[in-house]
Homo-oligomer: A and B are copies of this chain.
Amino acid sequence: MASKTTVSNHIVLTSHPTGGQKPIEIKWGATDAKTRGPVVATPAGSGWRNAIGSYSGSYSVYRALAVAAGSLDPLHKPDLTNTAPAVDMGPFPQWTDPQKIVSIDPWGHRVEDVFADHIEAGIDVRPTMAVTRARLKVPELIAKHSGLHLEADGKVLLETGEVNVTKVAIEPVWHLPGIAQRFNTDEHTMRRSLFEQTGGMFSELVTRPDLHVFLPPIGGITVYLFGDVGAITDSNRQLSCRVHDECNGSDVFGSDICTCRPYLIHGIEDAIQTAQEGGAGVIVYNRKEGRALGEVTKFLVYNARKRQHGGDTADRYFERTECVAGVQDMRFQELMPDVLNWLGITRIDRFISMSNLKYDAIVGQGIEIVERIPIPEHMVPTDAKVEMDAKKAAGYFTNGEVPTAKELAKKHGRDLKDY
C-alpha cells in the first residue's frame, strides 16, 4: 500500500523558530482570546506550531498509524461545520487570570469562532474542548434501587428514569510556567523531569524554551452538567459538585474493592436533586486510572494487599501502594481545580467527596466549599471497607468516627482464594 506519510524526505528532529514563519505568540491569561492567541499543535505545516506535543494527545499515536497505513492524508484539516458548543459557556473572569487556569485552554471549545481569522488564513487551529448535550440511562436510577428515590420532573429527570445533561470533553493544554508554579518548582526543572522521566518524550521540552505550552499525551476530563447551566455561577442558587477520578474496574464493571461507582452514583443523584431544586450539579470525571498510576500497577497492589502477612488490612493500605509505585498517589490534585475555575465556580454548596486532598486543592484556589458530603454507609461495598477506613485514618473527611489503630489492624478484605 502506498504511504502518504512524508511530505518532504528531510526528518526534522526538533523544530526551530527559524525554520519558517514566526510562530504566533501565546500570551497566557491575556484579556481576550485574540490577544491570547491560538494554540497551534498540528504536526502538518509545522511552521505555525507554537506548542509542544500534539492535538488529541495520546490519540495522535493512532493518527500516526492511520497516516502510515495510507488511510489518512497527513495534510487533512478538520471541517468544523456545525461542531460549535451546543450550550454557551463563559467567558468568565477566571479565563483571563494566568494563575487560575494552567492545565486547560479556556478558549479551547470556541476556536472556530474566536480564531476564525487564523483558520481562514489557513492555520490549522483545532478545538481542545467540545460541548454537547446527552440523555443518560444510568442503570441505578432506572432501577430505582439507590436509596434516594428521586421524583421525575420531566425536565432534568424524566418519567423513564432518563436524565438530560450538558457535557464537555476537555484535552489537557499545559502552560508550563504555571504548572511549575503549582508544584513549587521552576520551569526548567519541570521540563527536564518531563523529558527524562518519560524516557525522552518530546525533546522540544528541553530544546525549545521559547515554547511554553505543552499538550501532554495523558487522559483528559469530561464534565457532566445537570440543570440550568446559568445556575452554576449564580450565587443565589445552590451548587452540588463531585470530582471523580476514573476507576474503570468499579465505574464500568462494578468491582467491589472500592467505593468509586457508588460514590459517583451518589454524586449524580445529588446533582439531579440540586438541579431539581433550582440549582445545578457538576460531575467532573478525570481520566486518571488507579490514582494516575495506571491499571497494571493497581492490580499489582491488589495482589500485594490480599497476599500480605495478616491479610488485607486498613493500616497497611497505603504502604502497599508505596512499595510498588514509590508514592501513595500520583493524581496531583494541584491541577484539578482548573476545570472548576473554567466553569466560573466560586462556591460549592455541597461537595460530594471525603478527600482532603481534593478539598485542600479547591479551597487553596479560593473556591469556597460550604458542606462536604460523605458516601452513605449503605452504599459502601463490603470489600471496600478496608479502603474507607484507611482513608479516614489518613485524613479523609468523615462526620462519623475515625477508626482506631486496633480497628485498622483487623483483617477486613477478602482473600484472593475467596473469590
Contacts and interface: CB of A to CB of B under 8 A. Distances in A.
A275 B128 CA distance: 44
Interface string A127-144: 111111111111110110
Contacts of A69: 183-185, 332
A244 to B, nearest CB: 9
Contacts of A133: 416, 419
A194 interface: yes
Nearest to A325: B78
A339 B323 CA distance: 29
Interface string A216-243: 1111101010000000000000000000
A398 interface: no
A58 B199 CA distance: 11
B81 A323 contact: yes
A76 B296 contact: no
Given A5-B193, A11-B192, A248-B285, A298 B72 contact: no
Question: Interface residue tally of chain A, by bracket?
Answer: 35 or more
A174 B388 CA distance: 38
Contacts of A162: 256
Given A78-B325, A145-B142, A323-B78, A194 B383 contact: no
Nearest to A293: B59
A137 B219 contact: no
B330 A193 contact: no
A21 to B, nearest CB: 17
B254 A294 contact: no
Contacts of A326: 66, 72-73, 76, 78
Contact of A169 (B142, B292, B295): B295
A303 B83 contact: yes
Contact of A218 (B11, B62, B138, B254): B62
B198 A60 contact: yes
B164 A13 contact: no
A31 interface: no
A163 to B, nearest CB: 8
A140 B71 CA distance: 39
A361 to B, nearest CB: 13
Contacts of A167: 249, 299
Q: Which of A53, A81, A298, A331: most chain B Cβ within 10 A? A: A81
Contact of A197 (B64, B129, B140, B302): B64
A332 B65 contact: yes
Nearest to A2: B185
B199 A53 contact: yes
Contact of A56 (B135, B293, B327): B293
Interface string A69-106: 11111101011111111100000000000000000000
Interface string A280-313: 0000010111001111111111111011100000
Interface of A: 1, 3, 5-6, 11, 13-15, 41, 43, 49, 52-54, 56-74, 76, 78-86, 127-140, 142-143, 145, 162, 164-165, 167-171, 180, 183-185, 189-190, 192-204, 206-207, 215-220, 222, 224, 248-249, 251-257, 264, 285, 287-289, 292-304, 306-308, 323-327, 330-332, 381, 383, 414, 416, 419
6 contacts: A14-B200, A43-B197, A54-B201, A138-B253, A169-B298, A222-B249
